[in-house]
Amino acid sequence: GAVVSQHPSWVICKSGTSVKIECRSLDFQATTMFWYRQFPKQSLMLMATSNEGSKATYEQGVEKDKFLINHASLTLSTLTVTSAHPEDSSFYICSARDPTGVYGYTFGSGTRLTVV
Amino acid sequence: QKEVEQDPGPLSVPEGAIVSLNCTYSNSAFQYFMWYRQYSRKGPELLMYTYSSGNKEDGRFTAQVDKSSKYISLFIRDSQPSDSATYLCAMGTGKLIFGQGTTLQVKP
């Protein structure tokens, strides 16, 4: 099947520092990956669509300068939370669509970010 | 009005019951329809994926899509305590839009 690996699974950082989260498609190439944010007991909110070799497309209300997305290869997309603050603490999840269409959209295991 | 509406529950049923989960949507352009299961602090796990109206069955799970009514359902037969989780409907064309999620508890 289509596997997406996300790293790290959890991270604690100090306010004002930056944190990078990696999302890799392990057994398929993904020209497009998606980044979501999920607050406790709430659903997934799409933050941005990551396109290999071009700029990411951000959803309305998402600060592109705070959430930097880089999709430098067909198997890797990164999300960097810059100058993190406690309100950025959340569960971040990436997703990629299997190009064959068989497995639909596969999700990573998520990264729990806590900013102290 | 949200593009995808899902009753958040919570839903509590006895073991062995048939569970029905539902979502409605407003965008007739949606092509992909999916159901995910999510356990606490984990990423969503794909249960069912379809792109046409009708029924799709996989083991104890049946997904139903009615594009004319903009309505999708997931049925779980012979529910088990291990089915206790949050179930999310998702749909879209390129990007996925998620419902709010329904929390299900199956009691032994």
Residue given tokens 């999916």 in the structure block: B34
Of B42, B90, B101, the CB nearest to A110: B42
pLDDT of residue B39: 93
Of A42, A46, A106, the CB nearest to B95: A46
Residue given tokens 């980044």 in the structure block: A35
Mean pLDDT of residues grouped by 10 in chain A (116 residues)? 91 97 92 92 91 90 95 92 96 89 85 97
A42 touches chain B (CB under 8 A): yes
A49 touches chain B (CB under 8 A): yes
pLDDT of residue B48: 92
pLDDT of residue A101: 74
pLDDT of residue A23: 96
Distance (Å, rounded) from C-alpha B77 to C-alpha A55? Answer: 44
Locate the chain B residue with the closest alpha carbon to A48. B95
DSSP per-residue letters across chain B: --SEEE----EEEETT--EEEEEEE--TT--EEEEEEE-TTS--EEEEEE-SSEEEEETTEEEEEETTTTEEEEEESS--GGG-EEEEEEEESSSEEE---EEEEEE-
B33 touches chain A (CB under 8 A): no
The 10s digit of each residue's pLDDT in B7-58 is 878 999 999 999 999 999 999 999 999 999 999 889 999 999 988 889 999 9
Whether the CB-CB separation of A78 and A34 falls below 8 Å is answered with no
B1 has pLDDT over 80 = no
Locate the chain A residue with the closest alpha carbon to B89. A43
- Bigger pLDDT: B100 or B94? B100
Whether the CB-CB separation of A19 and A84 falls below 8 Å is answered with yes
Q: What is the DSSP letter of A59?
A: P
The mean per-residue pLDDT over the stretch B77-87 comes to 96
Whether the CB-CB separation of A3 and A27 falls below 8 Å is answered with yes
Q: Test B94 with A49 for CB contact under 8 angstroms.
A: yes
- Interacting residues of B25 by C-beta distance below 8 A, sequence separation 6+: B3, B4, B5, B70, B71, B72, B91, B97
Whether the CB-CB separation of B38 and B45 falls below 8 Å is answered with yes
* Shortest CA gap A54–chain B (Å): 16
A51 touches chain B (CB under 8 A): no
Locate the chain A residue with the closest alpha carbon to B85. A41
Q: Test A93 with B44 for CB contact under 8 angstroms.
A: yes
